[in-house]
Amino acid sequence: MKRFFRFVFRLLLVVTIAAVLILLIGLYLQFETLTTQVDELTARVQRLEEANAARPAPAAQAPQPTHTPTTEPTATRTSRPTSTSRPTNTPSPTPTGPTHTPAPTNTPGPTATPSLTRTPRPTNTPGPTSTPSPTRTPRPTRVPTNTRTATATPVPTPFFTVNTDWINVRKGPGPEYPIIDAIPRGTQHNIRGRNPAGTWLEFCCVKEQRGWIYAPYLIVNVDVNAIPTVRATPTVPPSPTPTRTPIPTRTPVRPTAVPPTAAPSGDLGVRIEPENRCSYYDSDLYPYSQSVEPRIVNQQGGRIYGPYTGTYFSSIRETDIEHIVARSEAHDSGLCAADSNTRRAFANDLLNLTLASPSVNRHQKVDKDLAEWLPALNKCWYVARVVQVKRKYNLSMDRAEAAVAQRMLDSCPNTQMQFTDPGSAPPPANTRPPANTPPPSGGSCPSNCTEAHAMGMSNMGRDHRCYQPKFDRDRDGIACER
């Protein structure tokens, strides 16, 4: 319909313009005709004036005949028709040429010049003022309204590109939401919105679901603040708190992982949820200073002491700096979404640091949690310290870990670090191999960490037969960390 009305409008406009042109042409032709006639009349008048000027004598006698026709004919016609004999005596004056001079009385022809006053007809030229019909053209002014939509098209569609090896996709903006899937490096998706802080982005879709992804591990093509804020789906409600079963007071020396039958209570003050590695882990993300060892010794009363085994060392060179909550365990419990400053603070926090022998640190505890490993001594202190650290950094526990922590704390008389008698403690064994000593025999060693992982080797300490400095990137004495 719009096209039809446009066509009709254009047709009417063309017809109107054509009619105006025809009217103007007609007026122009009439004006030319009148001009020609005026010119002809002017030429005739000039010729008559020239002819009159060329007659000198008759021009003086001309007044006499003019008086005779006015007097004699009136007298003869009104009183005596029979007296026409008298005029016969005057035939000579009457037929004289001057009697024919009335012919010039045709000069009233020039009086026709008032017809020139008719020329005001060209004043009808206001007829072109009837062209207001073209004023209907304001309809084209609607075109700018369409151009506004065109100006919006240059705005790019926001999208992201994954900039880490693998990253988890969750149902909401935070590690407390369940995982939908994981996507690899280089994956791109259009962005639908962000959380108010701009740290999580929503996109569509993974497994036919809208997902949320952690922004610091993404490359975004626009300013994150320009992305609209959207609301997340409600957080999954926590599982109900079960009643606690009776717990024996005796604790095993080397407990194994005990899966709980129900979620523990919230007395620990820690979030209970499965572990989740929401971003790639690398020990370089958690740097710490080797010079922190004297501070650890100072907080232990000046003792170079390993609380896990009750061992005293003669020098800090015989010990490893031990993270009570392992860095990789903290990463999977929530620090995977933290910034670099928080990770550095965690790695250097004395609350989470102690000393341990290399054999315990590198081969027994490694990165295990409470449900997977407990020390031979100072169990209560160790469990309490794990809970303290996780509270401080808002880290989570899985159900198995929380169950062990709850059981231990319910049965512990105190949570202070216990020191053994130095005289009863066995002398520390030198676990470091001599310098430049080749690794002992017992199978081939890998040439890189990829081969080591394929062979089942990881977290190798300096006393490991296959330890090589090139595998220990952060120089912490542990090679091919996982």
Q: What is the full per-residue pLDDT of the chain (482 aa) written as tens digits?
A: 788 888 899 899 999 999 999 999 999 998 989 999 998 899 989 888 888 887 765 544 444 544 444 444 444 344 444 443 444 444 444 444 444 444 444 444 444 444 444 544 544 444 444 455 555 555 655 545 554 555 555 668 999 998 877 788 888 898 778 878 878 888 999 999 999 988 989 999 888 889 999 888 899 999 999 999 998 765 444 444 333 434 333 333 333 333 333 333 446 889 999 988 888 888 889 999 888 888 999 989 899 999 999 999 999 889 999 999 999 999 999 999 999 999 999 999 999 999 999 999 888 998 899 889 999 999 999 999 999 999 999 999 999 999 999 988 888 888 899 998 775 544 443 333 333 334 434 457 888 887 887 777 777 776 677 878 788 776 666 778 76
CATH of span 159-226? 2.30.30.40
CA distance 273 to 281: 19
CA distance 458 to 480: 5
In the beta sheet, which residues pair with residue 394? none
Single pTM value for the model: 0.39
Handedness of CA 355, 358, 363, 364 (dihedral sign): negative
CA distance 157 to 124: 62
In the beta sheet, which residues pair with residue 201? 194, 213
- Give me the pLDDT at residue 170, please: 85
- Give me the pLDDT at residue 138, please: 55
- 295 backbone dihedrals φ, ψ, rounded to 5°: -70, -35
CA distance 255 to 401: 12
CB atoms within 10 A of CB 92: 7
* C-alpha 33, offset from chain centre: 73
- Give me the pLDDT at residue 189, please: 94
- Give me the pLDDT at residue 115, please: 44
pLDDT tens-digit map of 160-200: 998 877 788 888 898 778 878 878 888 999 999 999 988 98
Handedness of CA 164, 166, 172, 177 (dihedral sign): negative
* Alpha helices by DSSP H, 157-277: none
CA distance 402 to 393: 16
In three-state form (DSSP H/G/I as H, E/B as E, the rest C), the secondary structure along 150-182 is: HHHCCCCCCEEEECCCEEEEECCCCCCCCEEEE
- Give me the pLDDT at residue 58, please: 53
| Strand residue runs (E) in 426-479 | 460-461, 478-479
Handedness of CA 321, 324, 326, 331 (dihedral sign): negative
Query: What's the Cα-to-Cα distance from 89 to each of 80, 86, 95, 122, 459, rounded to whole Å?
Result: 16, 6, 12, 59, 167
Location of structure tokens 């004289």: 96
CA distance 145 to 157: 23
Question: What is the residue extent of each domain of the chain?
Answer: 1-64+95-135, 159-226, 266-430, 432-482
Structure tokens at 400: 């198995």
CA distance 323 to 431: 20
pLDDT tens-digit map of 6-52: 889 989 999 999 999 999 999 999 898 999 999 889 998 988 888 88
Query: What's the Cα-to-Cα distance from 477 to each of 129, 154, 362, 462, 482, rounded to whole Å?
Result: 99, 54, 9, 6, 14
Query: What's the Cα-to-Cα distance from 420 to each of 113, 307, 311, 315, 340, rounded to whole Å?
Result: 144, 9, 8, 18, 38
